[in-house]
Amino acid sequence: MPKGLSILASLLLIGIFALPNPVNATGTAAERVDFGANPGQLRLFFYRPDTLRTPAALVVALHGCQQTALEYARLTGWLQQADRWGFLLLLPEQRLINNPQRCFNWFRPAQVTRDQGEAGSIRQMIARLQTEFPIDSQRIYVAGLSAGGAMAAALLAVYPDVFAGGASIAGVPYGCASGMLGALYCQSWGRDLRPAEWAEKVRHTAAEANLHPQRWPILSIWQGQSDWVVDSTNARELAEQWNALHGLQSNAASEETGQGYTHRVYRDATGQPRVESYLIAAMGHGQPIDPGSSAAQCGTAADYVLPVGICASERIIHFWGLAP
């Protein structure tokens, strides 16, 4: 066998694929294929910044429909945040064979059941990276856009013992749908349930795994009020779901009005923020970015990556406490 083919065969056997560095990133992007049974048949990409701290926080970033993992991470500023703050990025990618639009299947119960389907694959990806990198198990977070945002909320519900927090961008509450038609209705019009009803969906799922968390993951919610794909009522219902889990009142928030957005923060009895929401008035369907060179700016405009003067990935990192 020629030497080049021999090296390639060795890489295939151990499941290591190095990839060209994404534009403007200084770390290493790679793929792993050896991460368990992979019940959801997803692909595992990750990004290790040269600035990786020890022990490292881990951020799972889930792309939206019609996107790829590395493209999403680059355009929305996640690579930039990883370089700046020294955390590891896990970038699951959907396969066209699973969904022709490359959406995560958040609305199919078999895909969001603990240790099964796509949720199970993502959990196995985390475990795989934990064998390779010194990851702080108390600082594992998940964020996503659109279908990725809905999947992020599902992962928080299914694995509250794994994730310290999350962010849902143009997402929907956990348990909003259990099939394709329900998903279309949920995202287009929303479902209006009482906060306790929403919270019970999460508690029931946790109880099935014999989990009864004393502290639930924290959550950052982002939504465009001009979104034509996901109705903005979903942000309200998602906030109600997680406020109820934290024992907070959805009408007891501190509020900040910025240039084109409203930011609400819901705090516990000690004053710690547990849930926050950003409603962006003129934004359609996508993740907000603010292209530029200052520390608070990020991103490159593209389909579903919208320059509206605020960088979601930067704000989320601060909310999680990964940046001072």
* Catalytic residue set: 146
Amino acid 41 reads Q
Q: CA-CA distance, 311 to 79, in Å (whole number)? A: 13
Q: Are 107 and 178 in contact (CB under 8 A)?
A: yes
Match 């993502």 to its residue by tokens.
122
Q: Are strands 56-62 and 135-145 parallel, antiparallel or unpaired?
A: parallel
SS3 of residue 155 by DSSP: helix
Q: CA-CA distance, 276 to 187, in Å (whole number)? A: 20
Q: Are 296 and 312 in contact (CB under 8 A)?
A: no
Amino acid 44 reads L
Q: What are phi and psi of 199, to 5 degrees?
A: -65, -35
Q: CA-CA distance, 16 to 46, in Å (whole number)? A: 11
Q: What are phi and psi of 323, to 5 degrees?
A: -135, 145
The tokens for 54 are: 């020890």
- What is the total residue count of the chain? 324
> DSSP string covering 206-256, please?
HHHTT---SSPPEEEEEEETT-SSS-THHHHHHHHHHHHHTT--TT--EEE
Q: Are 138 and 161 in contact (CB under 8 A)?
A: no
Give ∠ CA 203-207-212 in degrees, rounded to 5: 75
